[in-house]
Amino acid sequence: MTSIFLRFLRQISLSILVAALALPARAQVAVQSYNGHDAVAQEVLIKFRQPAPGDAQAQAAITANVLQAQVTADIDVAQSVGSHGWVLWHSRSNDVATLMGLLTGASDLVGVEPNWVMHLASTPNDPYFPQEWGLQNTGQSILGITGTPGADIGAPQAWNISTGSASIVVAVLDTGIDYTHPDLAANVWSAPSQFSFYQGTTLYTCPAGTHGWNVLNNTCDPMDNDDHGTHVAETIGAAGNNGMGVTGVNWTTKIIAVKMCIPGNCSSANAANGIQFLLGAKAAFGGEAGSTDVRVLNNSYGGMPFAQSLLDEINGANAADMSFVVAAGNNGSNNDTTPVYPASYNAPNVISVAGTDNRDNLAALALQDGFDPNYGATSVDLGAPGAEVYSTWPSGSYGWMTGTSMATPHVSGTAALSESVCQFDTELLKPNLLNNVAVIPALVGKTVTGGRVNAFNSLDAASSACPGTGWSSVSGVDKHKRVCEFPGNCWIVWDSGYVSVTVNGYTTSANYSEYSTGQSLAYALRSAINNDANHPARAHVSGSKVSLSAKRTGSDTCYTLSVSSGSNDPEDFPTPSFSASPSGSALVGCR
């Protein structure tokens, strides 16, 4: 959004509201029903047409239409939401249905929708001796139910590869977290310095040492006064091997808290503002190469109809390289036929999670608590342990909770753990998780993958794709395309064009024709480098198997050229060879 339009929105708000500039913080949300769904009472989210820069006549006309709509709907409070021009309106006298009727079709209107209410997807249980069967299931009894050995995410095997990294930042959008909990404090993010960010069109500043943001009252303190967010945070990253309590999927990570839910529910407007805060915090500290490179958003809530305002922010998160991991819901319904948002959004960074029990059933154990996970063969991506999960509660305590809320952080945690091995872009992180599930009968035909998240499989694939860190890649132009199921399992769609490698600013290209094979392409690239006396990588070429990979070192993405020894006959290649570099490859250039 342009700064001109931001100023335009501020001018509208100021011209309408003198005394009431923001919605008050609320301990509980008044709810009204609209089209069979809960929405925040007497509120709507609305968006008007953006005037062209410098078009004073259009700006005046739109402002007049906004003012008229405000009078018609009896609006007493307006507050900008997110970064895409949406504004939250509250009416003195009109309910949601009346507001929708009055405002739909208004002049210069782009969209109007209720401020949908979403519900936290869990059922608390009484404290019990900690048994984290979701990380390692040996068949132990969980609240009287004997488990199935191996019905877990394979965490101990994954920890042989990595136990996490403090450079990977995970956001928990929830009821906040108890950042003083002895099992969480070491892994809680702290702002390295003072920083500023927008909430809607209002600029806020938080001091160094801040652990996140409180959307409910626009303060820099995201302390949990419920238990849901703290419980979720532990599964992602409670400090491991510290001689106390429980351990997270990541022994080491950084968790940034967004307090946007009251006990029991959240609103779509608060979720949008929470994401906007994370985008601002990431940008404030250097973006993808900075100290707050937020990569994974955990969203253990849902149950609302479609809301464009929230989808706009989720797409913004995707552009900023953030995965959006979200609970599929607890209604026992088919999300393919009855979409539940935000889990059902068709956005490339959305990963929708169902819940399983300690016997690898979709809902059997969980039904003791009335928990019946949603499913969807085309809309719910995978499952994860969600029934009777033991984790942290505020004030140094621990307890059991059940729901897809508890399944979701198992996936978010695995995503962060994979990132500690191989810093995938978001477009490659999702297939790394989905293509490496453990297929189980209960999820076949019920989820996209038919499987439960498996941390070991994902990390094993990540380490194969990125010895050290990085991901495999081959760059090309024209009709040449690279297709990846996941890094390390890539192939070429062979059409005419060329492939090029650039090392230290020096580019060499290899031409190839339609229907060329992987063998001839690999040979052509090797020959082009070998025959170029000036190419910096020439001395590293031997044999005939050539592969390129991107290897991240610190804040740079560095390219390596790897060559395996073997026959000089290119026809020895049974398949295209564009795998990750083996250990010991020579570093030949950085981007």
Catalytic residue, chosen from 90, 211, 228, 410, is 228
- Asked if 40 and 29 count as a contact pair (C-beta separation under 8 A), the reply is yes
Alpha carbon of residue 22 to chain centroid: 29
Which backbone phi and psi does 589 adopt, to 5 degrees? 170, 155
- Asked if 555 and 523 count as a contact pair (C-beta separation under 8 A), the reply is no
Which backbone phi and psi does 136 adopt, to 5 degrees? -150, 115
Catalytic residue, chosen from 38, 174, 312, 357, is 174
Under DSSP, is residue 172 helix (H, G, I), strand (E, B) or coil? strand
Catalytic residue, chosen from 405, 473, 547, 579, is 405
Query: Known catalytic residue: 228?
Result: yes
- Asked if 214 and 128 count as a contact pair (C-beta separation under 8 A), the reply is no
DSSP 8-state class, residue 442: G
CA angle 350, 355, 360 (to 5 degrees): 130
The radius of gyration of the chain from alpha carbons, rounded to an integer in Å, stands at: 26
Indicate the burial class of 372 (C-beta count within 10 angstroms; 0-12, 13-18, 19 or more). middle
Instruction: Report which of 485, 3, 552 is spatially closest to residue 288, judged by C-alpha positions.
Output: 552
Helix axes 455-465, 404-421, angle to 10 degrees: 20
Instruction: Report which of 295, 301, 579, 299 is spatially closest to residue 417, judged by C-alpha positions.
Output: 295
Rounded distance between C-alpha atoms, residue 246 and residue 52, angstroms: 55
One-letter-per-residue 3-state SS of 226-288: CCHHHHHHHHHHCCCCCCCCCCCCCCEEEEEEEECEECCEEEHHHHHHHHHHHHHHHHHCCHH
DSSP H helical segments within 17-154, as ranges? Answer: 56-73, 96-103
Under DSSP, is residue 181 helix (H, G, I), strand (E, B) or coil? coil
One-letter-per-residue 3-state SS of 330-356: CECCECCCCCCECCCCCCCCEEEEEEE
Rounded distance between C-alpha atoms, residue 405 and residue 389, angstroms: 10
SS percent in the chain: helix, strand, coil, step 5 = 25, 30, 45
Enter the tokens of residue 396. 């140094």
Rounded distance between C-alpha atoms, residue 541 and residue 529, angstroms: 8
Q: How many CB atoms lie within 10 A of CB 93?
A: 11
Under DSSP, is residue 487 helix (H, G, I), strand (E, B) or coil? coil
Under DSSP, is residue 45 helix (H, G, I), strand (E, B) or coil? strand
Catalytic residues: 174, 228, 405
